[in-house]
Chain A
Amino acid sequence: TAAEPWPENAALYQQLKEEQILLSDNASSLAVQAFLQMCNLPIQVVCRANAEYMSPSGKLPFIHVGNQVVSELGPIVQFVKAKGHSLSDGLDEVQKAEMKAYMELVNNMLLTAELYLQWCDDVTVEEITHPRYGSPYPWPLNRILSYQKQWEVRRKMKAIGWAGKTLEQVLEDVDQCCQALSQRLGTQPYFFNKQPTELDALVFGHLFTILTTQLTTDELSEKVKNYSNLTAFCRRIEQQYFEGHDKDSSATAAARSAKRSLLR
């Protein structure tokens, strides 16, 4: 299977773009799409209401390549590497360690903050998350699924000590993370200078989604906008990897729809 070349009909599955997908899943999906674009591997984005249940790990996005299904950015990077494509081969050992550390930072802080905002902040939960998450399903299933997921996420937050945080503290953590990313990026075009790596894809996925998603408040996107090199970074990747293709391509459509409001 590692020897098989990348097929033309490789597909990436996520939830419904317009009505259902939430901030964190959108960010993760965009990160994978950016990564595959950077590797020059064609992928089609397929939207399904039950994408979460189809995924082997329960997390999104997942890709269906040939007869294999792989979910989440980490395993997808490994899978793609086994097929002979890699963005980080040119890095030395210390740089690879650094890259992994920064990816953990993004997961630890940005992704967790996104999850907190959409499942633990009552205003956001009421106005955005609950209506969106169960939208493909009839009442009462939509509310049940939504509450179930919320309970699950809150349990996890409690286990890692985030349940006691206030929104201000979470936003402060986001700011600290953005500051670190901004300082690391400096004036370079990518995190490891000339060539993008999976870290660039991951950071792009999260920052672009935060910048272009309309929530109940602008505070989250304001945190990112404070760092001009980060917004320039997002624009650069968007232009290079998402607008240079046909208007019909799924990647451009994904980027465009991410810009639209997530409100009802």
Chain B
Amino acid sequence: PQSLLQAYAKFSGAPLAVNTLSNSWRVPKEDIPVLISEDIVISQPAKILNFLRKQKYNADYDLSAKQGADTLAYIALLEEKLLPALLHTFWVEAENYCTVTRPWFASRIAFPLSLYLPGKMSRKVLNRILLTRGGPPLYSLSEVEAQIYRDAKECLNLLSKRLGTSQFFFGDTPTTLDAFVFGFLAPIYKVCFPRVQLQEHLKQLPNLCRFCDDILTCYFRLTVSGHSPAGQDTADANLQKLTQLVNKESNLIEKMDDNLRKSPQHPPRKLTTLKLAAGGEESSPLNRLSP
């Protein structure tokens, strides 16, 4: 949800300062990301989007009624068909979870929660997948997994057909739907996992890759014009960290992989460096999965 929200905020020009929540004790239900605006605390992406809209930061202003309806339908499609496989890639796929997700996530939160929380999230995700997609005639976990990845690939194909050659889903300016799609695709596209069947499939759809790259270049770099609202200093600092992260993500993860392979115990120095170097967006692929 975090990358989705930041994308939406950038599209609509809302000034959004990103703060990492390193102490997850305060949010026991893992309801991150949380939007805090003048003492009002809002915690779910859909509600946060509603709040931003009511404050008149509306990226959908120019859409027709039908396009608004289409947005809702496509979001439903993403949640039903793409989300299970995305969650699975991050939290259930054993190699991915052990080598990337868990250490990354654990490095962001305080001990001893770091021992307990990643496992809890993993179990929660598996539970969700089995409850909503398991059941006859799929009887084993591997059958369920095969089905959800088939659905996810079909969803990616459908998105690619819908996008066609346009720059964004509804013409030349980005909208809520673009933020949602970006929020779902960016983690698949950018995070390097050992098991990458979704990413490989995505790379075969060049217009979707171009879509992600465009948004990353236009909205998550410093040299952007016409979309900067006033008072952006904190946002700029975060943008800088964001850029570092998004560009060097694969390098960082490769380094982490090397470190993990060389020594079983996590060398604390290396992980601390990670924490300082990257800002809010670093947790985005992971926090994105907090239900």
Please report A residues at the B interface, Cβ cutoff 8 Å.
56-58, 93-94, 96-98, 100-102, 104-105, 107-109, 155-156, 159-161, 176-177, 179-181, 183-184, 186
Contact = CB atoms under 8 A, between A and B. Distances in A.
Query: Which of A93, A96, A105 gathers most chain B CB within 10 Å?
Result: A105
A231 B164 CA distance: 34
B69 A183 contact: yes
B76 A100 contact: no
Contacts of B159: 97
A160 B132 CA distance: 8
Contact of B135 (A58, A184, A186): A58
B128 interface: yes
B76 A98 contact: no
B66 A186 contact: yes
A179 B159 CA distance: 23
A97 B66 contact: no
Query: Which of A57, A180, A181 gathers most chain B CB within 10 Å?
Result: A180
A109 B66 CA distance: 18
B85 to A, nearest CB: 15
7 contacts: A57-B135, A93-B161, A100-B77, A159-B128, A160-B132, A184-B66, A186-B66
Contacts of A108: 76, 79-80
Interface string B62-90: 00011011101110110111000000000
Contacts of B162: 94, 97-98
Secondary structure of the A side of the interface? helix
A156 B132 contact: yes
Given A101-B70, A180-B72, 19 more contacts: A57-B135, A57-B136, A94-B161, A94-B162, A96-B158, A97-B162, A100-B77, A101-B73, A104-B73, A105-B76, A107-B76, A107-B80, A108-B76, A108-B79, A109-B76, A159-B131, A184-B66, A184-B70, A186-B66
Contact of A97 (B68, B136, B158): B158
Nearest to A179: B69
Contact of B77 (A104, A177, A181): A104
B81 A56 contact: no
Contacts of B76: 101, 104-105, 107-109
B115 to A, nearest CB: 24
B70 A159 contact: no
B69 A184 contact: yes
